[in-house]
Structure 1
Amino acid sequence: MSEDNYVPKNILLTGGAGFIGSHVAILLCKKYPQYNIIVYDRLDYCSCLENLSELQDLPNFKFIKGDIATADLVTYALLEEKIDTIMHFAAQTHVDNSFGNSFAFTQSNIYGTHVLLESAKNCPSIRRFVHVSTDEVYGEGEDFNTDPMSEEHVLEPTNPYAATKAGAEFLVKSYFRSFKVPCLITRGNNVYGPHQYPEKLIPKFTNQLMRGKQLTLHGDGTNTRNFLYVTDVANAFDTILHKGQPGHVYNIGGDNEISNIGVARALLKIFGLEDQEEKYLSFVPDRKFNDLRYTINSSKLQKLGWKEEMPWEEGLQTTVEWYKKYTSRYGNIEQALVAHPRMLDPGSVVPEGIATNVGK
C-alpha cells in the first residue's frame, strides 16, 4: 500500500452475517490480521452465523447481535470497540419483498442508516463511513443502447427497495456535507455466489433444480442484469476502503450482462438438463414493475486498481457446487422458492447485545 492509502484499525461491519458482508468480513479478517473486525448483525431471515464460521478462532474477529436501528447499542459498540471505520452492509434488499412489505425497508434502509450516521457524527474516532448502495438507485436502462451510467447520473429509482436505498444515500451525503462525517458511497451490480439467501435468482433457481422443481421466470425472462461474483465484490470493497476518498461515489460493475432466461439455461446446462427446457421453464406473472436492465460505468473504481476476475461460467459452477453442499444451513427455504416470496421476519433467538467470537 502507498503512504496515501487509508489504514483502519477497528472496523464495524454491519450486516456481516449476510451475503456480501460475510465475504468482506472474511477477506479483511484473514488478509489484515492487524485490523479488528467487529460484525454487527441482527440475524434476520437472510443472514446466518454459519457464514462466519471460518472466523470463529481468529483473535481479530468479534460478533455483536444487534439492530442498526437501536441507537444506544450502536453508540455503545462504536465507543466500546474504539471504532474508526464503519462499513454499512445491513439492509433489506429483496425487491419482491419491497412490493409487499415496504415499511420494513424504510425502517431498515433509511431509519437504520440515519441512526448509524447520527451515532458516527457523535463519535470523534470515526475516520471512514462506507455506505453500501445499489445500481438500482439509477433506475431502468430503457433499452440496450443506453450508455452505462456514471456516478453523476440522476437517481430515478422505480421500486420501494431502490427508493429506500436512494433515500439513505441522500442522508449519507447530507451528513458528509453538514457534519463532515467522512462518508463514501458504493453502487453495485447484482452479486452472486456462496452465502446468498435462496430468494435471489441464482440460488433460487439452483435450489429449485436440486428439488426437481420448475424455474419460475418473471414475465418473459428477457430482463437482464450484470452479475458479479462475490469475491470480486469483496476485493472491490478492499480497494475502496483503502483507496477511496470521502465524498465520492464508486460504481462496482462487471461485464456479465445476462437475461434471466439466459441464467436459467446456463443452470440447466450445469445440471445436465439443457434438453428439457419445456419441462423446467415456467413463466409466471411479472413484478409490479421490473426494470429492463441496469448498466453502470466502473472506470472510476478501475482507476484505483480493481478489476473483475471471476469468469461467469466458473463462478456459476462454483456457486452451484456450494449450494449442493451447504443449502441446509438456511433451514426450511420452501417459502423462498415460490414465484413471488415474502420473507420479512427477523425471527432471531439470540438476545440483542451479545458479543462473541462465533462458536465459542
Structure 2
Amino acid sequence: MSEEADAHYVPKNIFLTGGAGFIGSHVAIKLCKKYPEYNIVVYDRLDYCSCLENLGELKGLKNFKFIKGDIATADLVTYALLEENIDTIMHFAAQTHVDNSFGNSLAFTQSNIYGTHVLLECAKNCPTIKRFIHVSTDEVYGEGEDFETDPMTEEHILEPTNPYAATKAGAEFLVKSYFRSFKLPCLITRGNNVYGPHQFPEKLIPKFTNQLMSGKKLTLHGDGTNTRNFLYVTDVAAAFETILHKGLPGHVYNIGGDNEVSNVKVAKTLLKIFGLEDKEDEYITYVPDRQFNDLRYTINSSKLHELGWTEEMSWEEGLKTTVDWYKEFTSRYGNIENALVAHPRMLDPIQPESVTTDLGK
C-alpha cells in the first residue's frame, strides 16, 4: 500500500474559488451534499462563463456560503479566509479557453498567474491553512508528439504551447515555490478535457450541442483529427474528492480518462444523438485552425488510481446526458451567439466589483 493510499485528511472549512463555474460547481455540490459536516465557502467573481444558477441546488443549505469576489483582491480574500476559519483551499478559478488566450493573453496572466500568486500569499499568512489544492491542466505538458507517445507522468517536463497553458504552468511554479519556501501544504492536479452540465458553450462539446440545437453547422478546426481525452464532470468531481482526502502535500496528480476521441468523431457522435447522422456533409464545416493546435494530450493517471479513484461514466452515456441537460438549461447563459462562432473571443475587459453576497446562511 502506498504512502498516499494510507493518508486521510479531513477538512472542516473549504474555500473553493471559481465555484460558480463548470468543474468547481460540481465539486461544491458533491462536497456540500455528501459531507454536511464540511462548510463550503464558494468564492467567484461571476465572470462570463459562470453563473449562480450552477449552484442553485445548494441554496438554503446550512453548510454553503457564496462570496462574490476576485482572487486578485487580497483584502477580501484574507478577510474571508480568517472570518470563515478556512483550513482548505481548492483553487479552480481561472481563465481557461485557449481561443481567448490567443486574443487577450494578458487577461490570462492577470487571472491565472497574478490571481494565484495573491491567493498563495493570502494563504501563507493564514495560520489555519492545512491544504491548498491547485487545479492545473494536462496542457502544461505540451503536445503529444504522435499517437505512439507514451502517456505523460507527473514527472514529465512542462512544455506549454499556447498562452493559456503557459499561464497555468507559471502558476504551478508559484505553487511549488510556496510549498518549498514557506511549507504551504500545496497539491497540484493536472486534468484532461472535462465535459458535462454547467460548461459554458464556448468549449467543444457544449458548443457543438448548441450549434445543432439552433440549426447551425458544426465548425471543426483544421481537419478535425486533433484528439482529446474527455472525462465526464462527475468523475472529475469524484477525483477531487479523492485527492482532497488522500492526496499528499508536495505531490502532483494527473486526472485522466480513457476516452481519447478526435474532434471529428465528437461531431459525428453528436449528429447521431440528434438523429442527423445521414447529414454529415450538410452539418459539418471545416474552418481555419487555431494558431497552434496541439495534436493530442495523453497522461498517465496511475498515481490517482492508487488512491482508489476510477472513471465510471461511459463516453456514450455521458455525451447523451450532456445533450439532454443543454436542451433544458442552456437558457441560463443568456445570449450565447458570440460563443458559437468558429473562434470565439468572450473575455470582458470590465471586471466586476468585489462584494460579499451570502446565499447560504
TM range (shorter): over 0.9
Of 186, 193, 201, the match for 1:198: 201
Listed as ranges, the matches of 1:128-147 within 5 Å are 128-147=131-150
Determine the C-alpha separation between the residues in 2 that align with 1:290 and 1:308.
Answer: 27
Residue identity opposite 2:78 in structure 1 = T
> Which residue matches 2:15?
12
2:90 paired with 1:90? no
2:288 paired with 1:324? no
Residues 6 and 246 of structure 2 are in contact (CA less than 8 Å); yes or no, is this contact kept in structure 1? Answer: no
How far apart are 1:354 and its partner, in Å? 1.5
Determine the C-alpha separation between the residues in 1 that align with 2:160 and 2:217.
Answer: 31
2:66 paired with 1:63? yes
Residue identity opposite 2:120 in structure 1 = L
Determine the C-alpha separation between the residues in 2 that align with 1:13 and 1:87.
Answer: 5
Determine the C-alpha separation between the residues in 2 that align with 1:198 and 1:347.
Answer: 21
Which deviations, in whole Å up to 9, do the C-alpha atoms of 1:38-74 show, x marking residues without a partner? Answer: 0000000000100000000100000000000001111
Residue identity opposite 2:278 in structure 1 = D
Unmatched runs of 5 consecutive residues or more in structure 2: none
Determine the C-alpha separation between the residues in 1 that align with 2:355 and 2:130.
Answer: 24
State the SS of the aligned residue for 2:96. Answer: coil
Of 327, 351, 358, the match for 1:356: 358
Residues 45 and 347 of structure 1 are in contact (CA less than 8 Å); yes or no, is this contact kept in structure 2? Answer: no
Determine the C-alpha separation between the residues in 2 that align with 1:213 and 1:168.
Answer: 37
How far apart are 1:346 and its partner, in Å? 6.7
Which deviations, in whole Å up to 9, do the C-alpha atoms of 1:233-260 show, x marking residues without a partner? Answer: 0000000000000000000000000000
How far apart are 1:348 and its partner, in Å? 7.2
Q: 1:348 to 1:47 in 2, by over 3 A?
A: farther
Residues 217 and 284 of structure 1 are in contact (CA less than 8 Å); yes or no, is this contact kept in structure 2? Answer: yes
Determine the C-alpha separation between the residues in 2 that align with 1:31 and 1:101.
Answer: 39
Residues 133 and 187 of structure 2 are in contact (CA less than 8 Å); yes or no, is this contact kept in structure 1? Answer: yes
How far apart are 1:357 and its partner, in Å? 1.5
How far apart are 1:207 and its partner, in Å? 0.1
Of 346, 356, 360, the match for 1:343: 346
> Which residue matches 1:296?
299
State the SS of the aligned residue for 1:251. Answer: strand
How far apart are 1:352 and its partner, in Å? 2.1
Q: 1:192 to 1:346 in 2, by over 3 A?
A: farther
State the SS of the aligned residue for 1:283. Answer: strand
How far apart are 1:142 and its partner, in Å? 1.1
Residue identity opposite 1:323 in structure 2 = Y
> Which residue matches 2:159?
156
Residues 92 and 135 of structure 2 are in contact (CA less than 8 Å); yes or no, is this contact kept in structure 1? Answer: yes
> Which residue matches 1:35?
38
TM-score (norm 1): 0.98
Determine the C-alpha separation between the residues in 2 that align with 1:225 and 1:20.
Answer: 17
Determine the C-alpha separation between the residues in 1 that align with 2:255 and 2:131.
Answer: 19
State the SS of the aligned residue for 1:142. Answer: coil
Residue identity opposite 2:138 in structure 1 = D
Of 24, 40, 50, the match for 1:47: 50
Of 208, 212, 217, the match for 1:209: 212
Of 234, 245, 255, the match for 1:231: 234
RMSD of equivalent CA atoms: 1.2
How far apart are 1:31 and its partner, in Å? 0.4
